[in-house]
């Protein structure tokens, strides 16, 4: 019943920068498991008694629902790779402008004094 929800655990603990269909399915499973847990506690008259557990589960669900709502802002793998390439090119351009070169010796004390 609680297989998809762990107390203190979050689906987003291992979040990627991509919100795909698998993650959406896990969210659905999380919400269904939460609903089942609430119903089970209600049937046994322990709903309010288990408030701390419910707070954790609701917090986890709320966090993942937020990620679902903002999923359109997540990068696709292609966009993430393009961003990485652009960032690397910008870094190299800054290094070149600052006088650093990838081929340059990283140990300047080894250069001759007249360079």
- Residues 74-96: pLDDT tens digits? 777 778 888 889 999 999 989 88
Distance CA 30, CA 7 (A): 12
Whole-model pTM: value is: 0.52
Instruction: Give the pLDDT confidence score for residue 103 in this predicted structure.
Output: 55
Let me know if residue 3 belongs to a domain.
no
Distance CA 32, CA 2 (A): 9
Is residue 10 scored above 50 in pLDDT? no
- Work out how many domains the chain is built from and give that number: 1
pLDDT digits (tens, 9 = 90+) for 26-63: 999 999 999 999 999 999 999 999 999 999 999 999 99
The parent domain of residue 21 ranges over: 11-110
Let me know if residue 22 belongs to a domain.
yes
Let me know if residue 97 belongs to a domain.
yes
Let me know if residue 17 belongs to a domain.
yes
Q: For the beta carbon of residue 29, count every other beta carbon within 10 angstroms.
A: 14
Let me know if residue 21 belongs to a domain.
yes
Let me know if residue 5 belongs to a domain.
no
If one compares 110 and 24, the residue with the highest pLDDT of the two is 24
Let me know if residue 1 belongs to a domain.
no
């Amino acid at each position: 019943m609680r297989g998809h929800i762990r107390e203190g655990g979050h689906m987003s603990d291992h979040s990627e920068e991509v919100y795909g269909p698998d993650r959406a399915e896990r969210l659905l499973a999380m919400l269904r498991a939460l609903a089942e847990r609430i119903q089970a506690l209600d049937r046994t008259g322990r709903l309010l008694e288990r408030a701390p557990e419910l707070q954790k589960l609701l917090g986890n669900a709320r966090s993942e629902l937020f990620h679902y709502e903002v999923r359109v802002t997540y990068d696709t793998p292609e966009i993430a790779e393009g961003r990485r390439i652009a960032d690397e090119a910008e870094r190299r351009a800054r290094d070149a402008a600052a006088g650093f070169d990838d081929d340059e010796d990283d140990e300047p004390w080894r250069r001759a004094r007249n360079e």
